[in-house]
Structure 1
Amino acid sequence: MSNELKKTPLYQTFVDSGAKIVEFGGWAMPVQFSSIKEEHNAVRTEIGLFDVSHMGEIIIKGPDAAKLVQYLLSNDTENLTTTKAQYTALCNENGGIIDDLITYKLEENVYLLVVNAGNTEKDFEWMKKKSSEFEAEVLNVSSEYGQLAIQGPKARDLVQQHVNTNIIEMKPFEFKQDVDFFGKNIILSQSGYTGEDGFEIYCAADDAPYLWNEILKYNVTPCGLGARDTLRLEAGLPLHGQDLSETITPYEAGIAFAAKPLIEADFIGKDVLKDQKENGSKRRTVGLEMIDKGIPRTGYEVYDLDGNQIGEVTSGTQSPLTGKSIGLALIDRNVFEMGKEVIVQVRKRQVRAKIVKKNQINK
Structure 2
Amino acid sequence: MPRTFGSALDEFVACQRSTALFDYSFLLRLRVKGLQAAEAVSNLCRRDFSSMAVGTVRYALYASSSGELISDLTVWQIGPETIDIMSGRAADVREITAALVTYDVNVFDLSDQTAALALQGPATNACLQELVDRGEVAEIPSFGFRELGIVGKHCIVGRLGFTGLDGVEILCTPDDASRLWQLLAQMSRPAGFMAADMLRLTAGLPLFSQEFAPPVTAADVGLSRIWKPFASTTEFREPQVARVLFRARWASDTTTALPDVLWTDGGAFPPPVNTVAVTSICNNPTAADLIGMGYVSLKNKSNQLSDTAGLLSNIQLIKIFGEQPP
CA contact (8 A) 2:274 2:305 kept: no
Judged with a 3 Å threshold, the aligned counterparts in structure 2 of structure 1 residues 324 and 272 are, in CA distance, closer, same or farther, namely: farther
Partner of 1:112: 84
1:18 corresponds in structure 2 to none
Match of residue 124 from structure 1: 93
**How big is the shift at 1:246?**
7.2
Secondary structure of the structure 2 residue equivalent to 1:247: coil
Q: In the alignment, does 2:299 pair up with 1:330? A: no
Q: Name the counterpart of 2:145.
A: 175
RMSD: 2.6
- Residue 286 of structure 2: which of 296, 315, 321 is its match? 321
Local SS of the residue matching 1:31: coil
Deviation of 1:217 (Å): 2.2
Instruction: Confirm whether residue 57 of structure 1 aligns to residue 16 of structure 2.
Output: no
- The answer to whether the 8 Å contact 2:276/2:306 transfers is no
Determine which of 83, 91, 102 is the counterpart of 2:55: 83
Alignment match of 1:342 (pick from 295, 302, 305)? 305
Q: How far did residue 68 of structure 1 move?
A: 1.0
Give me the TM-score of the superposition, normalised by structure 2. Answer: 0.86
Contact 2:76 2:85 in 1 (8 A): yes
Asked if 2 retains the 8 angstrom alpha-carbon contact of 1:95 and 1:249, the reply is yes
In structure 2, give the amino acid aligned to 1:210. R
Which residue number in structure 1 is paired with residue 196 of structure 2?
228
**Helix, strand or coil for the counterpart of 1:30?**
coil
Taking the aligned partners of 1:91 and 1:76, their CA distance within structure 2 comes to: 15
Greater Cα offset, 127-136 or 288-297: 288-297
Q: For the Cα contact (< 8 Å) 1:285–1:328, is it kept in 2?
A: yes
The corresponding residue for 1:6 is none
Look up the match of 1:30: 2
Unaligned runs of 5+ in 1: 1-28
Q: TM-score, normalised by structure 1?
A: 0.78
- Note if contact 1:236-1:358 (Cα within 8 Å) is conserved in structure 2: no
Tell me how far 1:272 sits from its aligned partner: 4.5
What runs of 5+ residues in structure 2 fail to find an aligned partner?
A: 322-326
Cα offset for 1:183?
1.7
* Correspondence list, 1:292-311, <5 A: 297-299=261-263, 308=273, 310-311=275-276
Quickly say closer, same or farther: Cα 1:355–1:315, change in 2 above 3 A: same
Structure 1 residue 95 displacement after superposition: 0.9
1:301-342 Cα offsets, whole Å, 9 max, x none, are 89xxxx8564411111111123331111111123277xx231
Tell whether the 8 Å contact from 2:39 to 2:49 is kept in structure 1 after alignment: no
Task: Tell me, yes or no, if the aligned pair for 2:273 and 2:300 is still in contact at 8 Å.
Answer: no
Q: Distance in 2 between matches of 1:203 and 1:290?
A: 41
CA contact (8 A) 1:41 1:321 kept: no
SS at match of 2:305: strand
1:25 matched to which residue of 2?
none
Give 1:286's match in structure 2, choosing from 244, 253, 256: 244
